[in-house]
Structure 1
Amino acid sequence: MPKFDSELRLNVSAGLASVAVASTLVLLKLWALWATGALSIAASLADSSMDLLISLIGLVAIIYAARPADQDHAFGHAAVEDLTSLGQAIFVFASGCAILWTAAHRLVNPEPHPLAQEGLGVAVMAISAAITMGLVAWQARVSRSTGNKIVSADMLHYVGDLLPTCGAILALFLSARFGWSRVDSIVAILAALIMIRGAVRIGASGWHALMDRSAPEDILAKIERLARDTPGVRGFHDLKTRTAGTILFVQLHIELDGGQTLSEAHAIAAEVKRRIIEAYPHSDVIIHMDVWQPGE
C-alpha cells in the first residue's frame, strides 16, 4: 500500500473516531442538562455540539483535501482545510459569546439558579472526560504518524475541551457539597472565554492562509539556507511562499553560471528542489533558473 493511502486511512480513522466521540458526548450531556439544569453543562454541551459539527466538516475536509490536482484545481484541494477552519472559528466564536452573555446574566442575578441531581451530572461529565482522553490519545498517535494539520488541530481542540468538562465536574460537586451554585456560572464564563480565544486563533490562521500570507520566518530562513548551501548556486532572489492546508508552496529564482550546459543547470535546480522537499515533504516547489551576473 502506498504511504499516502496509509496516511489517508489513518487520518480518516481519526476523523471517524472524532465524530463518534462527539456524537456520544452530545447525547450524554443533553441528558445531563435536562436532569441538572447546570449552565456549566450547557456550556460543555454547546462545545460538544460544535465539536460534532467541526468533526463532521473536518472528516469531509480530510477526504476532499486528499484529492489530487485536476484541470479546475491545478494546485490541489488543500485550501479547503483553511476555508473549513475559518468557518468553524466563526461558529465557535458566536457560540462562545452566547454562553458568555447567558452566564454573566445568571451570575449577576440576585437569586442563584438552583441545580439538581448534581451527582448524576458529575458521573456524566466524568464519563465524558474519560472518552475524550481516549480520543486524544488516538489522535496524538495519528498526528505523529501523518503530520495532518486537521487531526492535530482537532486533537488540541479536544484537549481544550477537557478543561470546561473538569470545570463542570467541580461546579456540580461544590453545588452539591456546599450549595455554591454560582460557581456554575463562573465555570461557564471561563469555558466561553477559552472557546472565544481558540476561535480567534484558529480563524486567524485560516484567514492568513486564504490571503496567501507568507510562510513563517523560520521556514523562509531554512529555505534560503538550503538554496545558499547547494553547490553551483551563485545566488538567489524572489523567494515567495504561501500555504494551503498542509501544503507549502515555494517559488524561488536561483542564479547560475551561464557558461555551463543546460543539463548541468537543470541538475543544480533539481538538487535545490530536492533539498526543500526533503525538509518539507508536503511542499510544492517551483525553481526558476537565471543567469548569474558577476558584480551584481
Structure 2
Amino acid sequence: MRRATYASVLVVLVLVAAKMAAWLQTESVALLASLVDSLLDGVASAINLLAVRHALTPADDEHRFGHGKAEALAGLGQGALVTGSALYLFITGIQHLITPQPIGSSPAGIAVMVLSILLTGGLILYQRHIVRQTGSLAIAADRLHYVADLATNLTVIAALLLASQPDYVWVDAVAALIVAAIIVKSAIDIVRGALDNLMDREMAEVDRERILTVVRQHSQARALHDLRTRRAGLQVFIQFHLELDPEISLRAAHRITDEIETELRRMFPGAGVLIHQDPAGYDDPVSEFVSPSGKPTGTG
C-alpha cells in the first residue's frame, strides 16, 4: 500500500510538469482542465500517502480498533477537492463556450496527453493489484481518480485535434465541461465509499453468506443470530451469537468457538471476531440459520 501511494505521487508530479509546459504553449482550456485535475490528483495522492501510513499504524491503548478509518477520512477529503476542481472547470468551460478562444499549436499537447495515458494506465494496473490484495479504500479511491483521468485524457486529445480548426474552437470548452462531469461522478463514488466505511455499513451480502457458511459447516453449531459486520479501513469486524447444545461443557463450547474463529480469520485475514455463546433455543431467538440437528426457525 505504501509503494502504491509513492508510485501515485511520482506519476502525478511528472504529469503536472508535462501538462503545465504543454498548456503554456497551447492555452487550451481542455488541457487546463486536465492540468487542474492532475494538480488535485497530486494533493489527493499526498493525502492518501499520509492516510495510509496512519491507517497501517497498529492499534494502541487509545484506538483499540486500530486506525483504519483514516482511509475513509482521506476519501472524504479527496471528494471535497475533486468537487471543487469540477466547479472551477464548469465555470471556465462555460466562459470559453460563450466566448471561444483559439488555441495554439496542439502537437505538444497531444504528445503530453499520450504520455499521460501511458503512465496513468500503468499506475491503474498496479493500484488494481494492490486493491485486490488489501481491499484498501484509500488506494481504491485514488485509483478511481486515475480511471476517470483516462477518459479525461482521451477527451482532451479529441479537443486538441478539433479545436485547432477555426470552425471547431468551441469543442475545447465542451471538452472541459465533459471532463468536469466525469470528475463529479468520481467524487460521488469516492464520498459514497468513505461514508459507508465511516457509518459502519454492513459487509456485502456475499461476505455475510460466507460467514454463515463457515458456521453451518461446523457439525456442533446449532445456529447463529445477531450477525453484525463492519469494516474500518483494511480490517473487518465480525460478531454474532452462536447457539450450541445446552448440555455440553464450557470447555467444549470454547473449543467449538475457537475452531469457528480460526476458520473465519483464515477467510478474512486479520479480522476481529467476537462470538457470544448461547444455549440453543435460549429465549427462542430468531436465528440466521439452523443446522439439521436443531429445531427449524425463521431467518432474521
Which residue of structure 2 aligns with residue 184 of structure 1?
A: 172
**Aligned residue in 2 for 1:4:** none
CA contact (8 A) 2:44 2:81 kept: no
2:223 is equivalent to residue 235 of structure 1: yes
Residues 118-146 of structure 1 show CA distances to partners (whole Å, capped at 9, x for unaligned) of 12211222222222223223333434444
Percent of aligned pairs with the same amino acid: 36
- 1:194 paired residue among 182, 191, 198: 182
Letter in structure 2 aligned against 1:198: S
The answer on whether the counterparts of 1:119 and 1:176 sit within 8 Å (CA) in structure 2 is: no
State the AA in 1 paired with 2:215: A
Structure-2 residue corresponding to 1:68: 58
Question: How far, CA to CA, are the matches of 2:233 and 2:264 in structure 1?
Answer: 18
1:87 counterpart letter in structure 2: G
Q: Which residue of 2 aligns with 1:163?
A: 151
The whole-number CA distance in structure 2 between the counterparts of 1:269 and 1:207 is 32
CA contact (8 A) 2:74 2:138 kept: no
1:1-296 to 2 correspondence within 5 Å?
11-107=1-97, 109=98, 111-177=99-165, 179-293=167-281, 296=284
Secondary structure, aligned partner of 2:73: helix
Contact 1:33 1:42 in 2 (8 A): yes
Q: What is the CA deviation profile of residues 47-78 of structure 1, one whole-angstrom value per residue up to 9, with x for unaligned ones?
A: 11111111111111221111111000000011
Unaligned runs of 5+ in 1: 1-10
User: Distance between the aligned counterparts of 1:87 and 1:150, measured in 2?
Assistant: 11
Per-residue deviation, residues 68-113 of structure 1 (Å, max 9, x unmatched)? 1100000001110111101111211121122122212322x1x421
Q: CA RMSD in A?
A: 1.9
Unaligned runs of 5+ in 2: 285-300
Structure 2 counterpart of 1:67, one-letter code: T
Structure 1: how far apart are the matches of 2:283 and 2:29? 71
Structure-2 separation of matches of 1:139 and 1:214: 25
Look up the equivalent residue of 1:63 and give its one-letter code: R
- Which amino acid counterpart does residue 241 of structure 1 have in structure 2? T
| Structure with the bigger percentage of helix | 1
For normalisation by structure 1, the TM-score amounts to 0.89
- 1:3 corresponds in structure 2 to none
What is the rounded CA distance, in whole Å, between the counterparts of 1:214 and 1:139 in structure 2? 25
1:243 partner SS: strand
